[in-house]
Structure 1
Amino acid sequence: MARTKQIARKSTKGKSQRKQLARKAVRESAPATEGVKKPHRFRPGTVALREICKYQKLTELSNVWFERELKTNLRFQSSAVAELEEASDDFGVEKDEINQRISGKNLLKDRIF
């Protein structure tokens, strides 16, 4: 026997008709809230991806992460923290540069005067 699709049909029973009429009357008598509109909501992850792109485009990183790593019982002046951060950045860049030169096998070019 061939399969057939179900078709939605309106109910003609009396009780459900009464319930529908009661709901309709309540809806019509309720105060209208047409002026209030819900704010737009982005899907999960959209805003996070936008923030990732934003922070990847920035060249300057905040020094909050460095201060968090440096937290100890000692007190530092803000200028000292800035100098330490600058020195650590320079050291990291120099290390990366040396590693790239080693992998590119052109380490000796700078050592020849």
Structure 2
Amino acid sequence: MSTGGKVQWINPHMMRAQNFTIRFVKPSRHMPGIVALREIRKYQKSTVTLIQKFPFQRLVKEIAQNLKEEFRFQSSAVDAL
């Protein structure tokens, strides 16, 4: 059961009955990079566009304008990118 990253604590009344001291149980963590690799696999499998169409189109036109003034793009060409 996930605790959302919070430290769980054990009931002190139960601990005293068994002559234990209070101890904290840290939630288990994933090794570094495991979650990142899972996200990479998730986004590689999906076909959903992560960047919206019109802001991306503006960016492409701005970069092309820095190269040459008179570029024109077909909508299918921008979709292919």
TM over 0.5: no
Normalized against structure 1, the TM-score is what?
0.31
More strand by share: 2
More helix by share: 1
